[in-house]
Structure 1
Amino acid sequence: MGSNESLENLLRSGVPPDRKECEGLMRSALDRLKDAHTCTLSFSSRFDLAYNAAHALALTALRLSGYRSDKRYLVFQCLIHTTQSSKIQVRLFALCHERRNLAEYEGYMDEDDALLEQLLESTSQLVGDVQHRMN
């Protein structure tokens, strides 16, 4: 399925991306990612910060492409079309979304340090890709 076919299921905003909005999302993502690297924080805090940084970056990429979504998980699924993210990275973000939901809605958080490190690394890679798109 091509990029346009996949994205057409989303709400086309009809207006050019709002630079100020995208800059705010980037600032939020960068702040959260920086804080997620603070090893003195609890695992759940670090995971939450890293996940939300990734979400803000994915949302920025989607909005830069002229789309909006009211479904949180869709911004990760669209990364394959809105950035240079690999299918492996998209699957990682989807897994982290599932883990985030378990923690948020069922109170279950499996402390997986390897997963957190992969999330931090993939989110850091996503920063460069989205920043490049903003320029």
Structure 2
Amino acid sequence: MESRFDLAYNAAHALSLAALRWHGYRSENRYQVFQCLAHTLKLEPLQWRALSQAHNKRNLAEYEGGLDVDGALLDALIRSAQVVLNGVTALGPVHR
């Protein structure tokens, strides 16, 4: 479950960063990338908050050493990552 969480989280982050960059912005802050989804992909708060919660879990694991993931959070993370994937795909190619 931990490796699935890690893969889903990193995929969601990379896709969220892609959406931000599609709009011409950059961020060094992992959390802000998720917060901006309300603007970059018009995500509902429920969707980006699931990613925010996953980010908090990831930080605890990264800085305190333990990852406590339950099935409900993992499912919400995967669903949210799919929504972000669909949103990024719908953006189309970058117009320069």
Percentage of pairs with the same residue: 53
Structure 1 position 134, deviation (Å): 2.3
Task: Give CA deviations for 1:13-33 in whole Å, capped at 9, x if unaligned.
Answer: xxxxxxxxxxxxxxxxxxxxx
Q: Which runs of 5+ in 2 are unaligned?
A: none
Quote the residue 1:70 is aligned against: 28
**Conserved 8 A contact 1:64-1:134:** no
TM-aligned CA deviation for residue 129 of structure 1? 0.8
Report matched runs for 1:62-101 at 5 Å: 62-101=20-59
- Kindly provide the amino acid, as one letter, of the partner of residue 100 in structure 1: R
Could you tell me which of 39, 47, 65 is aligned with 2:5?
Answer: 47
Which aligned pairs between 1:1-135 and structure 2 lie closer than 5 A? 43-135=1-93
**For 2:29, what is the secondary structure of its paired residue?**
coil
Shift of 1:84: 2.5
Structure 1 moving runs of 4+ over 3 Å: none
Q: Report the AA paired with residue 84 of structure 2.
A: L
Bigger RCO of structures 1 and 2 (CA < 8 A, at least 6 apart): 2
After superposing the two structures, state which structure 1 stretch, 102-111 or 58-67, moved more.
102-111
Q: Indicate the RMSD between aligned Cα atoms, in angstroms.
A: 0.9
Number of aligned residue pairs: give it: 93
Distance in 2, Cα, partners of 1:111 & 1:61 = 26
